[in-house]
Amino acid sequence: MPVDTHCPYCALQCGLRLSGGVVGPRDFPTNRGGLCQKGWTAAALLDSPGRLTRPLVRAGGELRPASWDEALGVVAARIGDVQARHGRDAVGVFGGGGLTNEKAYLLGKFARVALGTSTIDYNGRFCMSSAAAAGTRAFGLDRGLPFPVSDLDDAGAVLLAGANPAETMPPFTQHLSGAELVVVDPRRTPTAEAATLHLAPVPGTDLALALGILHAVVADGHLDKEYVAERTTGFDEAWRVAAAWWPERAERVTGVAAADQRRAAALLAEAGGAYVLTARGTEQHASGTDTVSAWINLALALGLPGRAGSGFGCLTGQGNGQGGREHGQKADQLPGYRRIDDPAARAHVAGVWGVDPASLPGPGPSAVELLDSLGAATRALLVFGSNPVVSAPRSAHVARRLAALDLLVVADVVYSETARLADVVLPVTQWAEEDGTLTNLEGRILLRRKALDPPPGVRTDLGVLAGLAGLLGQPAGRFPSDAATVFDELRAASAGGPADYSGVTYGRLAAGEALHWPVRHTAHAGTPRLFLDSFAHPDGLAKFVAVDHRGPDEPPDAEFPLRVTTGRVLAHYQSGAQTRLVAELVAAVPEAFVEVHPDTAARAGLADGDLARVDSRRGSVVARVRAVGSLPLDVLFLPFHFPGAGRANLVTNPALDPVSRMPEFKVCAGRLSTVEAE
């Protein structure tokens, strides 16, 4: 029986049909029948030999098969022991942006109620946090795209800042085919190749580039004065900074010609419907929040956000990157996108959970800080749907911290690099084996229906959490394991919040209704376009934020003269834990590589195909040279999907954005050598 469902990978959540274990395309508004290589091969995950099918418990230094009763009993007993000796916050939880809304919700509730810990965060901190923080301060609310993807079909121009959808989400590019494209990326990616205008800033200087283009908008007469006066505040303060960034000055910092900055301003202003979209390339910086604010300032000056036919948004990465940050697995949030330090939100959610609001912990450490505390303040960690050994910055340090724990528990589909370090490994269901909802990059809630039974011995994450909660003394029924029941509870917990799902039901989703949050009651059609009448600040206005360029945390120097940046390839997804199990994807890109200009490679004694070493102050990566003539001479590019010595995050910089706590994945100082060199 064919089942209409969605791809297990990225936030475009392409519609697909699963029939007899084979994936086929399906018409859905985000992909219109298109699928990328990852989607086409997604069924290979279902019967992969790399799949976990039995709980494992470490004994005598080895992980050995165990029953579920034994594995959960060990986890519960050792959690109790750690909390008795070190306090409730000594047990931490680390979630993931690929978890369904139901899992993200129950994980947050499990941490706050069953464990009573404030120590919970998730890998979305590495993904969307800068864009979310900047969107919230500008508009009063963050939703990746505050409009349906299909609105882009009519765009006259689109500026993509740090986005490479031609490789990361190929079916998305069909929505851009009618627009003049301005692509901001240090690399000449396939997306940049297709652009009307490619702006290639020095890595870590995007903010200066946005200021230069904003200056050109104002100086060349493109400022939408009426919109700025009627719908925004703070322009004068933002302009006081941008006034000093005439394009010639921005050119000296960014390397982008002043004439190209002016052309970008004109293309956006004269397009008759323009959009500014950001993604990780411009967001994953120690100044990521301010950088996104600079792009939002540009969009506001042009009068784009909150109007039909134009806008600002960011392209969410992980499959449930949007929903994953709305329902409580984030250190500072409760379900419904509510702040955990808001007394009214605490009272509402505690009421739904049947607990005393005073018993709910407050905000905890962010992801990098949490991982840094392992073995010290945090003595035990439960990881659900994440692989920080590969995906976290300074990953050798993270692996050492994980090894210093009294207890590491990993619930995952596959035997990830993090699972290999665990004391207890819990095998859980994956996309086609369970019911659940996800929220895609445009804030549309999707139902992913169970299409086939999981292998024997595998449980749902919800069942694992419910079982553990019972062993930890929670009353029967407080932690349901059925997805529909959990979703109904999520609806109640989110009611009245910014991300209000109270009007969403499995029945409405199964009937194909396009429900974009907020959906405030069951007769409400949802909100495909936000901000058309007013923004979400109390005064209804959008806010310019005065931000200035401050450059990368770790600029190149004599010892480490090159700029190392990281990113993705078409064939792999995130830490690669899933896609590295799919033969076709491995054949496409089998191993780590480093893109480098051929002249830079030659100076290091290297040529295309050689094994090279990339060093930073934190470690070394070994990867095969790909000589790319279009790359700037001082830039190295590493994809971050690979384990072992090819782990890009062995070299990345954990310096954090002060607002979002996003690490600076996208630029650090490095050097290139042969593998033999000392």
Does 503 bind ligand SF4 (CB under 6 A)? Our answer is: no
> Shortest distance, CB of residue 40 to ligand SF4, whole angstroms?
7
- Burial of 81: CB neighbours in 10 Å, binned 0-12, 13-18, 19+: middle
Return the number of the residue (7 or 371) whose C-beta is nearest ligand SF4. Answer: 7
Tell me which H or E stretch contains 344: helix 343-353
**Per-position x/- string for 4-23, each x denoting binding to ligand SF4 as judged by CB under 6 A, each - no binding:** ---x-xx-xxx---------
Of all residues in this chain, which one has the CB nearest to ligand SF4 in the complex? 39
Return the number of the residue (38 or 401) whose C-beta is nearest ligand SF4. Answer: 38
> Shortest distance, CB of residue 430 to ligand SF4, whole angstroms?
14
Does 36 bind ligand SF4 (CB under 6 A)? Our answer is: yes
Backbone angles phi, psi at 378, to 5 degrees: -100, 120
Instruction: Determine which residue in the list 31, 41, 333, 387 makes contact with ligand SF4, applying CB under 6 A.
Output: 31
The answer to whether 429 and 460 are in contact (CB under 8 A) is yes
Give every CB contact of residue 676 below 8 A, 6+ residues apart in sequence. Answer: none
Both tokens of 251, joined, read: 């050119």
Return the number of the residue (39 or 388) whose C-beta is nearest ligand SF4. Answer: 39
Q: What is the DSSP string of 261-284?
A: HHHHHHHHHTSSSEEEEE-HHHHS
> Shortest distance, CB of residue 127 to ligand SF4, whole angstroms?
14
**Cα-based distances in Å from 115 to 270, 379, 472, 602:** 55, 13, 8, 55
Does 166 bind ligand SF4 (CB under 6 A)? Our answer is: no
Does 143 bind ligand SF4 (CB under 6 A)? Our answer is: no
> Shortest distance, CB of residue 438 to ligand SF4, whole angstroms?
10
Backbone angles phi, psi at 27, to 5 degrees: -75, 120
Does 373 bind ligand SF4 (CB under 6 A)? Our answer is: no
Instruction: Determine which residue in the list 38, 198, 285, 671 makes contact with ligand SF4, applying CB under 6 A.
Output: 38
Give every CB contact of residue 77 below 8 A, 6+ residues apart in sequence. Answer: none
The answer to whether 317 and 10 are in contact (CB under 8 A) is yes
> Shortest distance, CB of residue 560 to ligand SF4, whole angstroms?
34
SS3 category, 58: strand
The angle formed by the CA atoms of residues 664, 199 and 288, to the nearest 5 degrees, is 25
Which range binds ligand SF4 by CB under 6 A, 46-54, 87-95, 167-175, 509-517?
167-175
**Residue 425: how many other CB atoms lie within 10 Å:** 27
Does 418 bind ligand SF4 (CB under 6 A)? Our answer is: no
> Shortest distance, CB of residue 35 to ligand SF4, whole angstroms?
4
Does 431 bind ligand SF4 (CB under 6 A)? Our answer is: no
| Ranges within 325-354 binding ligand SF4 (CB under 6 A) | none
Does 315 bind ligand SF4 (CB under 6 A)? Our answer is: no
Does 407 bind ligand SF4 (CB under 6 A)? Our answer is: no
> Shortest distance, CB of residue 149 to ligand SF4, whole angstroms?
12
> Shortest distance, CB of residue 616 to ligand SF4, whole angstroms?
30
Return the number of the residue (45 or 271) whose C-beta is nearest ligand SF4. Answer: 45
Return the number of the residue (101 or 136) whose C-beta is nearest ligand SF4. Answer: 101
Which amino acid is present at 448?
A: R
Query: Do strands 562-567 and 668-674 pair parallel, antiparallel, or not at all (unpaired)?
Result: antiparallel
Does 176 bind ligand SF4 (CB under 6 A)? Our answer is: no
Return the number of the residue (31 or 100) whose C-beta is nearest ligand SF4. Answer: 31
Which amino acid is present at 37?
A: Q
**Residue 610: how many other CB atoms lie within 10 Å:** 15
Backbone angles phi, psi at 10, to 5 degrees: -80, 175
> Shortest distance, CB of residue 286 to ligand SF4, whole angstroms?
28
Instruction: Determine which residue in the list 97, 135, 148, 171 makes contact with ligand SF4, applying CB under 6 A.
Output: 171
Backbone angles phi, psi at 347, to 5 degrees: -65, -45
Return the number of the residue (163 or 210) whose C-beta is nearest ligand SF4. Answer: 163
Q: Where are the alpha helices (DSSP H) in 423-532?
A: 461-471, 483-494, 506-510
> Shortest distance, CB of residue 25 to ligand SF4, whole angstroms?
9
Both tokens of 451, joined, read: 């299409």
Which range binds ligand SF4 by CB under 6 A, 35-43, 196-204, 380-388, 531-539?
35-43
Instruction: Determine which residue in the list 4, 5, 39, 668 makes contact with ligand SF4, applying CB under 6 A.
Output: 39
The answer to whether 662 and 331 are in contact (CB under 8 A) is no
Cα torsion 561, 653, 130, 386: sign = positive
Does 405 bind ligand SF4 (CB under 6 A)? Our answer is: no
Tell me which H or E stretch contains 445: strand 445-448
Which range binds ligand SF4 by CB under 6 A, 2-10, 210-218, 242-250, 478-486?
2-10
Does 279 bind ligand SF4 (CB under 6 A)? Our answer is: no
Both tokens of 188, joined, read: 């000449």
Return the number of the residue (112 or 568) whose C-beta is nearest ligand SF4. Answer: 568
Q: Which residue's entry shows tokens 């200056």? A: 215
Q: How far apart are CA 576 and CA 582, in angstroms?
A: 10
Return the number of the residue (31 or 289) whose C-beta is nearest ligand SF4. Answer: 31
Return the number of the residue (170 or 212) whose C-beta is nearest ligand SF4. Answer: 170
Does 45 bind ligand SF4 (CB under 6 A)? Our answer is: no
Instruction: State the distance between the two ends of the chain, measured CA to CA, in whole angstroms.
Output: 59
The answer to whether 43 and 21 are in contact (CB under 8 A) is yes
Query: In the chain, count of helices (H) and strands (E)?
Result: 23, 29
Q: How far apart are CA 122 and CA 128, in angstroms?
A: 11
Return the number of the residue (4 or 89) whose C-beta is nearest ligand SF4. Answer: 4
Query: Do strands 653-656 and 663-664 pair parallel, antiparallel, or not at all (unpaired)?
Result: antiparallel
Instruction: Determine which residue in the list 63, 76, 161, 169 makes contact with ligand SF4, applying CB under 6 A.
Output: 169
Give every CB contact of residue 61 below 8 A, 6+ residues apart in sequence. Answer: none
> Shortest distance, CB of residue 10 to ligand SF4, whole angstroms?
3
> Shortest distance, CB of residue 572 to ligand SF4, whole angstroms?
10
Return the number of the residue (38 or 325) whose C-beta is nearest ligand SF4. Answer: 38
> Shortest distance, CB of residue 444 to ligand SF4, whole angstroms?
13
- By CB under 6 A, name the binding residues for ligand SF4: 7, 9-10, 12-14, 31, 35-36, 38-39, 169-171
